[in-house]
Amino acid sequence: MSSSAPLKIGITCYPTVGGSGILAAELGTELLARGHEVHFISYEKPFRLPADHPRVFFHPVTVNTYGLFKYPDYTLPLSVRMAEVARDHRLDILHVHYAVPHATAAILAREMLPPDHPVRIVTTLHGTDTTLLGRDPGYGPAIRHALERSDAITTVSEFLRRETINHLGVRCPIDVIHNFFEPGTPGRSRAEVRRELGVGDEALILHISNLRPVKRIDLLLEAAARIRPTDRFKLLIVAGEDFAPFQADVRRLGLEGRVIVRERINRVEDFLQAADLAMFSSETESFCLAILEAMCFGVPSVSTAVGGIPEVVADGTTGCLVPFGDPDALAAAAGRLVSDPALRQRLGAAGRTRAAELFSAARIVPRYVDLYRRVMDTPPSSGQV
């Protein structure tokens, strides 16, 4: 295949709010912009995919609800759809984001195709597919099997590559391709957004996440309650899920009036440009896309130094890292930034530069395209390692 011929790529991801789905949708959009053909195969259209893009193909997977099944099955209908789309559109690559169950479905789909159509499979591991499910005896062997039969494996950080080797015992090569983010244009001005949020000249601290247990919202709120001076900040939580379960903590900690919540927001740019700093209390993160999103808007983060976050944040230069599980340390670091606009400005500017140099689409997308071409030039995986 010529090194500039457009590729036909099928992308499967979780379409709901979450970093892996965001990355997959952004990658698809960037590949389209570079002239490749992209087909999304999932149970719903990824939420960050532009609704009106003329060349985005979306192939829904229908999940049955047979009375015999106690639990609906997604893996088999997904694999059948992948095989159909691969055959009908002569796909070169199936690129799956988050191994479970997407990588297994892709391997099955390849088995369903005729031998003269060896679609290549690229599996990108995003985080808990290795760190949580990879350790689960009910999933680990299936994940390892699918990885070893993939034509290429990527992880979004060096940390996740090491975890995958250590916990899954995967012996085939793994490419580290960090996440990227290309900021869209905000729909409203910073002043308008802050006015709508009821924020005056206080520092606006931003937290964006899907609120899963690993994000440790309990510690985030504990830290917020300890930030001094108390009247100099507001905390905006942009929540991918329902925040109601945490409202009792907000009241217990006396944070009413200081915590603002916005739920299920599709485009986060309005809030990123309105923020002064961001705060994250996660127990583990393979990357933390929200930190990168903030960096792109010159917003420094205070975060736990877990997983792949130290690959994203240059501690003391583009943000502040503190040990996990120490709300006092998180509060002290946030308090320093709340009280020091010049420091925020310095770290934010350095973060924006780092994001452009290391984590832009221009830097990262060609690495995926090179990987696709490399696997196209190599015989398909036989699964022997």
Tell me which residues touch ligand GMT (CB under 6 A): 14, 18-21, 23, 126-128, 156, 179, 214, 284-289
CA 124, CA 115: separation in Å to the nearest integer? 25
**Nearer CB in complex with ligand GMT: 127/319:** 127
Q: Nearest to residue 260, comparing CAs of 216, 195, 304, 325? A: 195
CB of 3 to ligand GMT, least distance (A): 28
The answer to whether 153 touches 170, Cβ cutoff 8 Å, is yes
**Nearer CB in complex with ligand GMT: 30/92:** 30
DSSP conformation class of 243: -
CB of 168 to ligand GMT, least distance (A): 14
Burial (0-12, 13-18, 19+ Cβ within 10 Å), 252: exposed
**Nearer CB in complex with ligand GMT: 190/367:** 367
SS3 112: helix
CB of 114 to ligand GMT, least distance (A): 33
CB of 101 to ligand GMT, least distance (A): 14
Q: List residues bridging with 302 in a β-sheet.
A: 279, 320
- Within 10 Å of residue 323's Cβ, how many Cβ atoms? 10
CB of 23 to ligand GMT, least distance (A): 5
Q: Which helix (H) or strand (E) holds 301?
A: strand 301-304
Nearest residue to ligand GMT, scored by beta-carbon proximity: 127
CB of 285 to ligand GMT, least distance (A): 4
**Nearer CB in complex with ligand GMT: 31/86:** 31
CA 268, CA 187: separation in Å to the nearest integer? 10
CB of 337 to ligand GMT, least distance (A): 22
Q: Nearest to residue 181, comparing CAs of 366, 361, 24, 15? A: 361
CB of 128 to ligand GMT, least distance (A): 4
CA 367, CA 369: separation in Å to the nearest integer? 5
**Nearer CB in complex with ligand GMT: 91/153:** 153
**Nearer CB in complex with ligand GMT: 16/75:** 16
SS3 305: coil
The answer to whether 311 touches 285, Cβ cutoff 8 Å, is no
Contacts of residue 369, defined as CB under 8 A and 6 or more positions apart, other chains included, come to: 7, 31, 34, 36
**Nearer CB in complex with ligand GMT: 300/335:** 300
For the chain, what's the residue count? 385
CA 131, CA 160: separation in Å to the nearest integer? 8
Burial (0-12, 13-18, 19+ Cβ within 10 Å), 191: exposed
Q: List residues bridging with 372 in a β-sheet.
A: none
CB of 338 to ligand GMT, least distance (A): 25
